[in-house]
Amino acid sequence: MDYKQLIKQIDKKQMPKHIAIIMDGNGRWADEHNTKRVNGHKEGVKAVRRIVETAVEAGLEYLTVYAFSTENWRRSKQEVNYLLKLIMDSLIKEIDDLKANNVNIKFIGSKEELEKSYNKKVLSTCRSSWDNDGLHLNIAMNYGGRRELIDAFKKMSDDIISGKIKKERINDEMVSNYLYTAYMPDPDLIIRTSGEERLSNFLVWQSAYSEFWFTKTLWPDFSREEFIQAILDFQDRKRRFGSR
């Protein structure tokens, strides 16, 4: 069925607010097509564009995509440099369109190690999209869930020492608001492509009650239809949050 037909089947009252995606399988896609890994990443960018468009059409509020993890530095220098440049170049190409579509774009992740890779113009354009109230698109770049928690602990201890917060007042909500995703809803649904069924250090705190949806499809092949199907399947899940 065409994805536009599938979108009509979504029950707006049960729409997930926040979907997060572990976009995995670019390298294996390249292997299957007898081409270099970098071409898999290039093809992966097309899938990001497709899914962001579909998320806008479906009326999603928050979409977080895992683009580069704090562990991905373990790959060859050549692949790392290619990936970082590809992410920036693709954003430069797409950013005007994204802004015109009322998308609010944010990077989440550690700024350390990345100074050189970030393009200043991209960062200022992202900032100028922060008044947009359509889809909130988070690009998780040099992101690690544990690093995010460490960064939060450091900020919290500074704020305790300076008297800005009191140790006794620390609760779930306060911790959430010290994370890169401060003031955003937790992901209702986490999608991972390529058949791997693990979190790989993604949204460690925020995923406490997320629903997971896995597919064997490799990220470059991930379709609009499959994305909407994940939302439809999510709507059949019974979330209990600990109650009976």
Under the phi-then-psi rule, with left for phi > 0, alpha for psi from -120 to 50, and beta for the rest, what region is 113? Answer: left
Q: Which of 54, 64, 69, 129 binds ligand IPE (CB under 6 A)?
A: 69
Q: Quick one: 68 or 178, whose CB is closer to Mg ion?
A: 68
- For residues 127 and 146, which CB has a smaller minimum distance to ligand IPE in the complex? 146
- Catalytic (active-site) positions: 24, 72
Q: Which does 67 bind (CB under 5 to 8 A by kind): Mg ion, ligand IPE, none?
A: ligand IPE
Helix (H), strand (E) at residue 42: helix 37-58
Q: Write each residue from 111 to 150 as x if it is in contact with ligand IPE (CB under 6 A), else as -, in one continuous string.
A: ----------------------------------------
C-alpha dihedral, 121 to 39 to 79 to 62, nearest 10°: 50
Between CA 208 and CA 128 the distance in angstroms is 32
- Which one of residues 96, 196, 209, 233 is an interface residue with ligand IPE (CB under 6 A)? 196
**Which partner, Mg ion, ligand IPE, none, binds residue 234 by CB below 5 to 8 Å per kind?**
none
Q: How many angstroms separate the CA atoms of 112 and 30, rounded?
A: 30
Among 7, 23, 184, 191, binds ligand IPE (CB under 6 A): 23
Please, is 25 exposed, middle or buried when counting C-beta atoms within 10 Å of its C-beta (0-12, 13-18, 19+)?
A: buried
According to CB under 6 A, which residues from 205 to 244 bind ligand IPE? 219
Q: Which of 64, 129, 194, 210 binds ligand IPE (CB under 6 A)?
A: 194
89 is a contact residue toward ligand IPE (CB under 6 A): no
Per-position x/- string for 4-43, each x denoting binding to Mg ion as judged by CB under 5 A, each - no binding: --------------------x-------------------
Which residue, among 191, 228, 221, has the nearest Cα to 43 in the 3D structure?
221
As a whole number of Å, the CA-based R_g of the chain is 18
Interface with ligand IPE, residue 27, by CB under 6 A: yes
Pairing of strands 189-192, 18-22: parallel
- Helices (H) then strands (E): counts for the chain: 8, 6
Chain contacts with ligand IPE (rule: CB under 6 A): 22-28, 66-69, 72, 83, 194, 196, 198, 200, 219
